[in-house]
Structure 1
Amino acid sequence: MDNEEIKLLLVKYITREANDEEVEQVRLWVSAHPENEQYFAQLYETWQNMLYLQPDVVNQEKAFQKFSADNIPRETKYRTLKIWTKVAAAVTLFSVFTGLLLNHYAQNVQKVKQVAANNGGIKKIVLSDGTLVWLNAGSKLNYNTGFGKTNRTVYLEGEAFFEIAPGKKTIPFLVNTKNYTIRDIGTKFNLKAYPNDRFFETTVVKGEVAVEGNIDNNAHEMNRIYVKPHQVLRIYYPKPEEFSKPANKKDLDNLNEIQVMQIDSAKLDRYDGWKDDLLVFDGNTLDEISKVLERRYNVKIIMNDAGLQSIRYSGSFKNVTSINKVLELIKGNTPIDYSITGNTVNITKNNKN
């Protein structure tokens, strides 16, 4: 392939317009050389960052200045001709690629629609192809106005339950998150990808989904995983310090721990009950529970004791409108105390229990 073909292929792939054959060509090109992978990762990250911007006017010049400042290496004042040549080539390459991406984004930015469910609320929407989507508290769903015609791709930040409408086989339903892409092969599934959670999770109620890592993150070497009915796929993210300083190779291999669990149909409500105003905790830590409660009741929970955060709790709550009632029930089975001031909740350990 010549440079012009590569440029067009990369832009089509990054903007989700490439067909299966073109996708394979890009993957081969990226894997052919470390520099190819580096260029692609930086460009892909630029595009993803733009997608998560509010759909306002994009200043292309400023965007490129920021991009080149972040990605073109700084050298000492004693630059050799060879280094100057490489830097100039890098600037040219980044300029061409980012220019294409920015132009593509600028042409479509006014066509992006966003639906959001604020903390404390749940929102149900019907997409133009008939797909039903429930958005959990603190979630955002972006999609292009061409949805249902030229594509069936949405961008999720947070949690959503999808009931996919039948569509043309040539236009697959895709859900993009920051780290993973989910391809629907069935009808009903839950997807959880909050930015402040330490895991990605999808639960299939009916049908099947395929999950693969985006190439701009450390999961891109993950093979495509197929999740079948009544299965849960959970992928844990490493903490930054764990990723930068693994103790040994085994620890490094386990940084992105992948779990696929078969679950009984009676326990599905643990994963999708939220859309019916049901909260179900099955051995979750108080740290995990606190994040759910923050979004559900629009509060800020402070819990500084690490031992307290790791305490596990099981219980379910149906149509409970007050966080005070939830905390009272949790308090009855765990050694905690709490106080509420405005929308701030302080949870402390009760050593008397």
Structure 2
Amino acid sequence: MENKDWEVSFRKAQALGDDIRELESIDVLASYRQSKVKIRSQKRMKRYNQLMRCAAFLSVPLLLASLLFGYLYFVEPEEEIRYAEVTSTMGTVTRYELPDHTVVWLNSGTTLRYPTMFKKDNRSVELRGEAYFEVEADHKRPFWVYTPNGLRIYVYGTKFNVAAYDDDGYIETVLEKGMVNVVTPNHETIILTPGDQLLYDKHTSRIEKEKVDVYGKVAWKEGKMIFRNASLEEILKRLERHFNVDIEFNNHSGKTYNYRATFRNETLTQILDYLAKSANLKWKIQTPEQQEDDTLTKTKIIVNLY
């Protein structure tokens, strides 16, 4: 029994001695230095991670700013479009040159609206009334004419006439030279060749295309009025615009008369006298009245057909 106790105590003492020798073998200073280096390394890594997070946070707005400045530098900003208007007063014909050197004649009571600087890919104008265009050729920029009723005409370089008065029931396009593309409000495209006339009915959307005497349709820009098989109603409406008067037409007979005539320097009364030679036509001029603002009313002519 005593031998066993002694043996157990011996083993414990031996194990304690082994632990003491192991502790004595540890280099405390080296371990301290190693731990210190490890702690510093962990601190540096922590700072690095924090800096990387800050850099990533700051790089987002910097990237956005760089993209914005790059866009502004390489992409030209769209300039504000400014428009100008030219109007030919009643009873006059006006010749005008557009920024692209296209020449346009405006008939009596016509207004043309256009940008002071055309775009790089097209040239567009808005027309109310009647105008004759000599379009400067530019195959990269089509020339568009927009009318109030949605009818559009585009060309690249040609000579043509468009009549789009508000009080007319139709829009008329006549081609003198080149080629014209007419686009209806229903997006139908009709191609015109020289000598073609296209009539678009505003009320029914009906389209009529036929050959006509082009000079008779465009001679107004030279101060002439040429009528070829024109009705009396059509002639009187043209006279209204040409002479800046109001004409009241009363057809008591119900008859229709068509005329073929050319007028150059004749007065209104001379023309009415000529029309009266072939029909029982009577006319009288009403004296203009003074209005509250001291201006005079437009001259009115009453035409009666018996």
TM-score (norm 1): 0.58
Q: Does residue 153 of structure 2 align to residue 172 of structure 1?
A: no
Match 2:236 to one of 290, 293, 296: 290
Q: Does residue 230 of structure 2 align to residue 230 of structure 1?
A: no
Distance 1:191 1:283 in 2: 20
Distance 2:220 2:254 in 1: 25
Distance 1:152 1:309 in 2: 46
Which residue of 2 is the match for residue 88 of structure 1? none
Gaps of 5+ in 2: 1-79, 288-298
Could you say which structure has the higher helix fraction?
1
Aligned-residue offset at 1:259: 1.3
Aligned-residue offset at 1:199: 1.0
Distance 2:252 2:110 in 1: 27
Q: Does residue 285 of structure 2 align to residue 314 of structure 1?
A: no
Which residue of 2 is the match for residue 11 of structure 1? none
User: One-letter code of the match for 2:275?
Assistant: I
Question: Matches of residues 1-353 of structure 1 in structure 2 within 5 Å?
Answer: 108=81, 111-147=82-118, 149=120, 151-167=122-138, 169-179=139-149, 180-214=151-185, 220-221=186-187, 223-238=188-203, 255-263=204-212, 267-305=213-251, 310-320=256-266, 322-342=267-287, 343-350=299-306
Which residue of 1 is the match for residue 3 of structure 2? none
Aligned residues: 215
Q: Percent identity?
A: 31
1:304 is paired with a residue whose SS is strand
TM-score (norm 2): 0.66
Could you say which structure has the higher strand fraction?
2
The structure with the largest alpha-carbon Rg is: 2
Aligned-residue offset at 1:236: 2.1
Aligned-residue offset at 1:334: 2.4
Is the CA contact (8 Å cut-off) linking 2:201 and 2:207 kept in structure 1? Answer: yes
Question: Kindly tell me: are residues 126 and 274 of structure 1, through their superposed partners in 2, closer, same or farther at Cα, counting changes over 3 Å?
Answer: same
User: One-letter code of the match for 2:170?
Assistant: F
Taking only aligned residues, the RMSD between alpha carbons, in angstroms, comes to: 1.9
Aligned-residue offset at 1:284: 1.7
Question: Kindly tell me: are residues 309 and 115 of structure 1, through their superposed partners in 2, closer, same or farther at Cα, counting changes over 3 Å?
Answer: farther
Deviations 1:152-209 (A, max 9, x none): 1000000000001122x33210000012000014410011111101111111000011
Is the CA contact (8 Å cut-off) linking 1:154 and 1:176 kept in structure 2? Answer: yes
Distance 1:302 1:309 in 2: 17
User: One-letter code of the match for 1:348?
Assistant: N
Deviations 1:99-141 (A, max 9, x none): xxxxxxxx64xx2100001111000001111111000001000
